[in-house]
Every structure is written in C-alpha cells, then in structure tokens.
Amino acid sequence: MDSAEPTERGQTGPKSAPNWLTPTHIGLVVVITLVFASVGVMMVLLVAMSGSSGLGWRSFIDGLTSWRTMAFLLGCPLLCAGTWVGVRALQRRLAWDRRTGLLMLLLAWMLVCTASALAAFGTGSLLLLQFAWGGLLPLGTGFITHGLTRRVGTAPHCSHCGYEFDSELDRCPECGAAWRRRGGVIEGRPHRSRVLVGTGVALLVLGVLLTIRPLLGQAFSPLVPTRFLIAQASGRDTWSPSDWTELMSRRLSGEQVQRLADGLLDRRWHTGRLDPSASGWLEKEIVGNTLAATTRERYFREMVMMHLRGPSRARVGERVKVEALVDDRSTPFAGLGARVLFAGFRVNGQAIESTRLDRLASAYDFDEWSVKRKPGAALPSVEVAAERTGVLVIEVQAWILYGPEGLLGWGRAWNDDGSPLLPEDPLWVEVVHLRHEISVE
C-alpha cells in the first residue's frame, strides 16, 4: 500500500498542491457547516420556546439573545471547521481513502454538534437531538457499504470478478466478462475492511436504539440517568409514563426534587395543565413544604391567574363591557383546590355592588372554556356607558385561596362588615388587584 493517497485522476501530479483544497471541497464544507448551523438555530428555537420565563415570543427572543445561544451559533460552525481540518490531517496520517475520510468527517461532526449542544443547553438538549440521531442510520449504512466494497490501489482489475487486468486481452480469462466494454475494468482491487463494517453495524444499532427508545418504554428506563429523566419529565413534548414511573422509583436528592419541581412548573406554564401523576407529586412537595420559596410562590401564582378583558378605546355614548377571566392551570380533581372571593368591579372608584359574588367561586366560573359549556352562564362582567371623554377606570379586587379541597369548602365569601371570610389556615392567598383603562373620545 505505497500509494497512500490515491489520486482520483492519474493525470494530476502526485505531489502538487494538497488536492483536498479544491473549490468543490471548500464549497462542500461551507454547505455542511451551514446545515449544521441551521440545525443549531432550529435547536435554539426549540430550547428558547421551552424556556421558563415569559410567554411565547418573549421567551423566544430572550432565548435567541442569550449568551449560550450566541456561543453555540458562533462556536458550532467554528468547531465544525476545526474538526474538518483535524480529520483531513488524520486522513493523510492514517492513509484513509476519500470515502472513509468523508464518513469519519460526518461522524466527527455529529459528535461535535452533540457535545456542543450538551455544553450549551444541558441535558435537555438531548431530547431535541432525538431527531438528529436518526442520522446515524444512513451514516452506519455508509460505513457498512464502504467497508464491503472498498478498493485499494490504482491498478486496473476486472470489474466483475476482480481479476488483474491484462492489456493484451479483450475478455477476462477468469470470468469471461468483456473488458473493452464501458465499466468492464475498474481501478484498484477489492479490499474489505472489518473495522469499517464493524463501525457501521455499531452505528446502526446505536441509531436504531436511540431513535426508538421512546417506544421501548420500560425496558430502557432503568438505564437512563436521573438527570435525563428529569429533563424528559420537564419537556413540553417528551412526557413518557414509563420514564415517570422509573423516576418516581428512585431516591431523589433535594437538588433533584427542586429541579424536577421547576421543570414541571415550566411544563405546566407552557402546556396549560399537568397530568394527574405529575400534579400529584408536585402537590405532595408543596404540602410537605420541601421546595424553595420562589418555586412555591410560582406554583400558586401561576395556577389561577386572573385578568380583565375589554376594549381600550370607546366613543362617548358607547356601551362597553369588561369581563374578569382566568388562565386556569389547575389539574381537575386534584387534592389541592382553589377558590375565588370576587369582590366585584369598581368603575371610576365606585363599587358596583351587584357584581360582587357572595359565595366562594370556582376558578371554572372565570374560565372561558368552562363557562361556554354551561347554558346560561357568563363570565363575571360589568357593562358601562362611556358618558364623557377622558379615562374610564375599571378595577377588580379578588382573593384567590389555595388549600386542600376539604378545608376550602363552598360557603360564604364575606363577613357582614364586608371583609373577606378566609378559612383558618389556607396554603396560599393571592390578593388580586386589577385595573383596566378605557380612553373615551
């Protein structure tokens, strides 16, 4: 194997400029680097959208402008270019043929991108890379076919049986194939590689396992690290009952409990509601008071969030309607419940007594979707005529109580003197003051 670097065209000088620095090669590298960078962007978008703060576009932009996103976007193409130089050097050193070099380069790129995604976005990014692992399948197939069909050297041989070409003859003396036909003779002799085939098989197996892991459920759960299970449970689209069961069977450290609680709150924020098993676990930690104060506050604060809805502008004489409604993220039939003491609307500082709810209300009374399904029901609202130009101020005051269902009950909401009738020892009381301004022209 003296012709270490087989020159594709025998015509070009054997020791001219390095033959890999051609426009085709450089173009290829630029294109592939761009592909990887766009995979990076895609991942950043997914990670940004599953961020823990803000809603929709806000968290999306926050995520895009975070330093790790920037580091990933700039660092990944640079690392890919560096890997390319490194693999080419290795290729010359170890005398790999062109196809082996290309396959190794693709493999190295996959590893580099996975490692940088891990470094930039943590274990959660592995979930987003799940689709990229499918790329191991064509790569493994490439290694296997190349390992089986690889040829070395430049001497011509029979393309049919591999017999050494003899320029004196028209036909192969071994198999009788016509040598003068196009494609009758081929450069190099076949030289299979067990290492390449073995690598290909390993990549195929790995690719299949990683890609179908979610379908295998329980079988693989015990092998998955706790970090990963927590990330899986916190993800918006990655909930898996078998992984949850596995996670619950493990002893979690205080730090892990905290991380899982924060992850579940992220998921609740984005999906609107947790499934009963996750919600039940979170409730237990809340009642046991094991979580950080900020997490506890977030648990209640984000469960039922009241807001006002109405026009921001009106003409004199127009009748305007303002409604009170909630984003309800509580899990139905959970042990912890919420009640609303709704003190009613005030218009320009004047209380509208008829809008006060005398009994404890349910979050469903303020939930648009639930109200629509009840015949004759409507969201608490106030209707006023805008009589003169200026600003019409609509205010609302309410107490949202959280506690075990049994403690909260369904009784009266107010004392005779008009003060709120709060139960003995609720887990959390959220005092809500809302203000909506309508400018009248």
Instruction: Summarize as ranges the residues that interact with Zn ion (CB under 5 A).
Output: 158, 160-161, 163, 172, 174-175, 177
* Comparison of 192 and 284: residue with beta carbon closer to Zn ion: 192
Chain centroid to CA 75: how far? 20
- DSSP string spanning 39-98? HHHHHHHHHHHT-SSS-HHHHHHHHHTSHHHHHHHHHHHHHHHHHHHHHHHHHHHHT--H
Q: Residue 222 is which amino acid?
A: P
* Comparison of 155 and 175: residue with beta carbon closer to Zn ion: 175
The minimum distance between CB 181 and Zn ion, in angstroms, equals 12
CA distances from 243 to 216, 227, 248, 264, 281 (A): 11, 12, 9, 14, 14
Q: What is the DSSP letter of 292?
A: -
* Comparison of 99 and 160: residue with beta carbon closer to Zn ion: 160
The minimum distance between CB 212 and Zn ion, in angstroms, equals 43
Both structure tokens of 166: 């003899």
Q: Are 427 and 336 in contact (CB under 8 A)?
A: yes
The minimum distance between CB 150 and Zn ion, in angstroms, equals 19
The minimum distance between CB 188 and Zn ion, in angstroms, equals 15
Question: How far is the C-alpha of 342 from the C-alpha of 358, rounded, in Å?
Answer: 8
Chain centroid to CA 146: how far? 35
Q: Are strands 428-440 and 313-314 parallel, antiparallel or unpaired?
A: parallel
* Comparison of 60 and 165: residue with beta carbon closer to Zn ion: 165
* Comparison of 170 and 174: residue with beta carbon closer to Zn ion: 174
Please enumerate in sequence order all residues whose Cβ is within 8 A of that of 430, keeping only pairs 6 or more positions apart, or say none. Answer: 300, 301, 304, 399, 400, 401, 402
The minimum distance between CB 119 and Zn ion, in angstroms, equals 53
Q: Residue 204 is which amino acid?
A: L
Q: Are strands 319-328 and 381-385 parallel, antiparallel or unpaired?
A: antiparallel
Length of the chain: 441
Question: How far is the C-alpha of 327 from the C-alpha of 304, rounded, in Å?
Answer: 6
* Comparison of 174 and 302: residue with beta carbon closer to Zn ion: 174
* Comparison of 186 and 252: residue with beta carbon closer to Zn ion: 186
The minimum distance between CB 149 and Zn ion, in angstroms, equals 16
The minimum distance between CB 191 and Zn ion, in angstroms, equals 17
* Comparison of 153 and 214: residue with beta carbon closer to Zn ion: 153
The minimum distance between CB 186 and Zn ion, in angstroms, equals 10
Closest of 130, 104, 123, 113 to residue 209, by C-alpha:
130
* Comparison of 161 and 292: residue with beta carbon closer to Zn ion: 161
Which stretches does DSSP call E strand in 48-197?
151-158, 185-190
Helix and strand numbers, DSSP H then E, in the chain: 15, 11
The minimum distance between CB 161 and Zn ion, in angstroms, equals 3
